[in-house]
Amino acid sequence: MARKGTEFVAINTKEVAYFFTDHKIVFVRDFSGRQMIVDKNLAELESELDPTVFFRINRKFIAHRKAIDRFKPDNGKIQVFLNPEIKEAVHVSKEMAPEFKKWIGS
């Protein structure tokens, strides 16, 4: 469930491109670009989501496999380009890079 204003909206995980935090608020963005507030933190969401489909990129992002447009090495980290596009640079840490490569390749 997500919130858009005062309304609650049911959103299927197949429609979710990624979850992210901004100023301690968790948002969900779907593949059509809609953005809504979620009343759970990323750790709670991560425990509920299918790990074969969603990956915890960093402290701020959990992304659906289909939302990853492309990625490239960046000084040991991996820069990930999401779709729908987000204005900030998104990186997988050096520590999580091997796990990300394994996940994206499976």
For 44-69, how does the pLDDT look when each residue is reduced to its tens digit (9 = 90+)? 999 999 999 999 999 999 999 999 99
Domains and CATH numbers, the chain: 2-105 (2.40.50.1020)
For residue 84, cis peptide bond before it (omega within 30 degrees of 0):
yes
Cα separation, 26 vs 58, in Å, equals 14
Report the length, in residues, of the chain.
106
pTM over 0.85? The answer is yes
pLDDT digits (tens, 9 = 90+) for 3-46: 988 899 999 999 999 999 999 999 999 999 999 999 999 999 99
Cα separation, 48 vs 50, in Å, equals 7
